[in-house]
Amino acid sequence: NTPATTERAERVVERLGLSSLGERFPHQVSSGQSQLFSLALTLVRPADVVLLDEPERHLDGHRVELVAALLAERAKQGTAFLVATHEPALVDVCDGRVELG
């Protein structure tokens, strides 16, 4: 861990509203909170390309908007995302899209 990674992790956890869950065990959080935690782990790690399969699963509308904003910010920093989703808020932050089916 570098200080920059720790700072980035704290910022992402705070923005996703997970700070108060630090003392809980995994079985004590909701499915949405668990999904947000998984996304936080993914977004904190350095990566050139990130693949996400329905990252909005189990999230309410407000949290989906937060995730979309975080993805857009990370994309501006140079990370490419390949996202499988049906969520308009996530589609809207994409540079391009491919529709299947």
The tokens of 57 are what?
């699963």
* Spans of all domains in the chain: 3-92
pLDDT at res. 71: 94
Per-residue pLDDT of the chain (101 residues; tens, 9 = 90+): 788 888 888 999 999 999 998 888 888 999 999 999 999 999 998 899 999 999 999 999 999 999 999 999 999 999 999 999 989 999 888 887 777 76
Supply φ then ψ for residue 47, to 5 degrees: -160, 145
In this structure, which long-range contacts are made by residues 7-16, counting pairs with CB atoms below 8 Å and at least 24 apart in sequence?
A: 8/44, 9/40, 9/44, 12/40, 12/43, 12/44, 12/70, 13/40, 15/66, 15/70, 16/40, 16/63, 16/66, 16/67, 16/70
Written as one letter, the residue type at 20 is S
Give Rg (Cα) of the chain. 14
Which phi and psi (to 5°) does residue 52 adopt? -125, 130
**DSSP 3-state of 46:** coil
Domain 3-92: what homologous superfamily? P-loop containing nucleotide triphosphate hydrolases (3.40.50.300)
Query: Which are the contacts of 6, defined by CB distance < 8 A and separation ≥ 6?
Result: none
